[in-house]
Amino acid sequence: MQTMLSTTRLYEGSETFFTLAGFAELLLREVLIYNGKMKSVMQRIAIQVASQGCEIANLLPVNGKSWWPMVEDVFASPAVQALRYVLLAELETHTEYTSISIDATLRICLSILGQSAKKDTASAYSAGDSVKRVLSVKGRTGAVLAMIPMSATTSEVVTKALSDNMSVIAKQQVKFVFCDNASPKLLTHLSTIFPVLETLALDPVHLPIVYEYSTWRKRTPGSIFLRTIMAKFNKRDNTRTANSWGPFYCGDSTDKLDKAESIMRQKILDRSMSSTRATTIQNALKGDQPWYTRIDYIESLAALVALYPSEVTRIAPGPNKQVYRILWSAAAFDRIEWMFNNMRIRHSMAASECTLLPSGTASNEALHAELNRCFRSTQSIHQSTIRLKLQILCFAKLVSHTSAMYRPTIKQMASSHVLARSLVCPVWTTESWREWCDELSAHRHMNKADLPLKSRRVQEIAKVKQHMLKRPASNSTGSAKASKLPGLLKKKRTAFTRQRKGKLLRQGQHVCK
């Protein structure tokens, strides 16, 4: 009996338990490979268990909510957490945190239960307890360092989120931060947690993305020209140093554009550059070289406006401004200098360090697109569940990236293939499994596993339910009428939902379902 107890994990409020480390290994692998999609995971595990002729297949939960406590326990286990710390330490050893890029996404938070996308007063949660954004943090070579749920995108909230999710060693490495909202305020707040932080850099890819909002996210000749213009901020000239562009810009508001630059910027707003001059500038543009002066960059934007008048007069959804006015704003002194920091950063780093350096927050945007695909079929989800799924996705990215970066295969492979090969080695040994299970074993019985997210989910369910009862629609008589229907009419029986008599005894009685 004691041997059985020492190899078993039991969960409060559920009859779910597992007694073999092999089952936990199987659950860990399937959850990572299928990005936490429990419907796919349940089917895969059912196949694996049934193919072994094991009758435990009849005891597997058929509802995803019964699997999440097991998933939480597995990913919070000492063995998995130790592996996570090893992977993060490996990134710290290779100075992955020297340069980080941060960006926030909104879409996956829209399906969280109890939250209103329009007003905080219509939510079950307060403004500080809501999850309105997910902050993604990527490193110098594109490693996913963190995916953090946040209540807002203010400098204070972002700083606290980064401080809580990065180690002391990691924070001491950060010198440069790429973002799409660089400001002196954000730089000041981040400097309080990053002691060697030198500057911020504005994402050069964000402007073409906003441009393409007006064309329903389709590439046009104008957007291709703009992408060529902005790509020059990521180029490196081996004959130049960072001093060629002056010191890092940190938000000094005393400097302004000179007279020639101001005149050229006005041509963006007036759209007054001649088409002949604009064509000459476009043909002479060298996409493999960085920008050397501000006026050359402003002149190229003026040429874009002159060459594609039908495109730049469209209104871009989101900013709700005409495209040429957005380009005019991008030619402001502070915006230009924040973007010129991209070239200053790349020329202050060694050439080997820039090989895999992402372009601004472009890698974050790619990660957000992947997250949107993972959550596309999710209609509703609780805060605790989305936190757990983000931990799972981040851990999977860590495993695949470190394997591909520091233990490369003979031929190139997709990230999913590298992840699958990396999960071959077992996480638990017999001894580590017994030690983990012994934490819950007591005299002749098992204690319940401590699952903070599960407890939090119970509270969230109660809070959302209470909030729904306050709505006027909850007082309608439709639900009351449905409750008075005969029992036979409440549920349509099929071949899969027929009543059956279980083989297990519960409190001395057979139970029909």
Tell me the pLDDT tens digit for each residue of 490-501: 677 888 777 776
Q: Give the pLDDT band of residue 475 (cuts 50, 70, 90).
A: low
Q: Do 214 and 294 have their domain in common? A: yes
Examine residue 118 and state whether it is found in any structural domain, yes or no.
no
Domain end: 359, 377, 392, which one? 359
- H-run or E-run covering 176: strand 176-179
| 391-394-396 Cα angle (round to 5) | 110
- pLDDT, residue 496, reads 76
| 212 shares a domain with 309 | yes
State residue 53's pLDDT score.
Answer: 80
* Residue 426: inside a domain: yes
Residue 63 lies in a domain: yes
% of the chain at pLDDT higher than 70: 88
pLDDT of residue 370: 95
pLDDT value at position 474?
A: 54
Higher pLDDT, 451 or 481: 451
Give the tens place of pLDDT for each residue, 236-265.
999 999 999 999 999 987 789 999 999 999
Is 20 within the bounds of a domain? yes
Asked if 243 and 345 sit in the same domain, the reply is: yes
* Per-residue pLDDT at 468: 82
Query: Are residues 342 and 420 part of one domain?
Result: no
**How distant, in Å, are the alpha carbons of 148, 356, 426 from that of 363?**
16, 11, 31
Of 368, 362, 411, 420, the residue nearest 390 (C-alpha): 368
SS3 state at 512: strand
Residue 483 CA: distances (Å) to CA of 444, 478, 492: 44, 9, 15
* 67 contacts 389 by C-beta, under 8 angstroms: no
| Number of domains present in the structure of the chain | 2
Q: What is the pTM of this model?
A: 0.88
Q: Which of 359, 390, 411 is where one domain is finished?
A: 359
Q: Is residue 217 within 8 Å of residue 230, measured between CB atoms?
A: no
What gap in Å lies between CA 176 and CA 247, rounded to an integer?
14
Which pLDDT score, from 0 to 100, does residue 447 have? 79
Do 408 and 297 lie in a common domain?
A: no
Assess if residue 59 is contained within a domain: yes
Residue 472 pLDDT more than 80?
A: no
Distances (CA, A) of 137 to 133, 166, 324: 13, 10, 31
Helix (H) or strand (E) holding 159: helix 155-164
Q: Identify whether residues 314 and 210 lie together within a single domain.
A: yes
Does 379 map to a domain? Answer: no
* Residue 239 and residue 355 in one domain: yes
What is the model's pLDDT at position 394? 97
Full DSSP string of 123-152: SSS-TTT---EEEEEE-TTS-EEEEEEES-
Confidence category of residue 478, pLDDT binned at 50, 70, 90 = low
Residues 233 and 333 in one domain: yes
Asked if pLDDT for residue 5 goes beyond 60, the answer is no
Please list, in sequence order, all residues whose beta carbon lies within 8 angstroms of the beta carbon of residue 211, skipping any fewer than 6 positions away.
Answer: 222, 223, 226, 316, 323, 326, 327
pLDDT at 6: 42
d(CA 151, CA 142): 25
How far is CA 304 from its chain centroid? Answer: 34
| Alpha-carbon radius of gyration of the chain | 28
Between 22 and 84, the higher pLDDT residue: 84
- Together in a domain, 347 and 269: yes
Q: pLDDT higher for 446 or 92? A: 92
CA distances from 233 to 223, 230, 321 (A): 16, 6, 25
pLDDT digit string, tens, across residues 128-143: 889 999 999 999 999 9
Give the chain's length.
513
More confident residue, 58 or 348: 348
Q: Are 165 and 146 in contact (CB under 8 A)?
A: yes
Task: Label residue 7 by pLDDT band (50, 70, 90).
Answer: very low
Which pLDDT band holds residue 65 (cuts at 50, 70, 90)?
Answer: confident
Range of the domain at 330: 204-359
**Taking the alpha carbons of 30, 35, 38, 39 in that order, is the dihedral positive or negative?**
negative
Q: Are 461 and 383 in contact (CB under 8 A)?
A: no
Last residue of a domain, which of 295, 329, 359? Answer: 359
Do 336 and 221 lie in one domain? The reply is: yes
Q: Are residues 404 and 355 in the same domain?
A: no
Rounded to whole angstroms, the Cα distance separating 77 from 437 reads 10
Instruction: Say whether both 355 and 209 belong to one domain.
Output: yes
Phi, psi for residue 371 in degrees, rounded to 5: -65, -40
- Section 408-433 average pLDDT: 91
Q: Mean pLDDT across the stretch 203-217?
A: 93
Q: What is the mean pLDDT of the chain?
A: 88
Instruction: Note the pLDDT of residue 15.
Output: 45
Please give the pLDDT value at position 2: 36
Q: Looking at the domain assignment, is residue 208 inside a domain?
A: yes
In a domain, 425, yes or no: yes
Q: Is 329 helix (H, G, I), strand (E, B) or coil?
A: helix
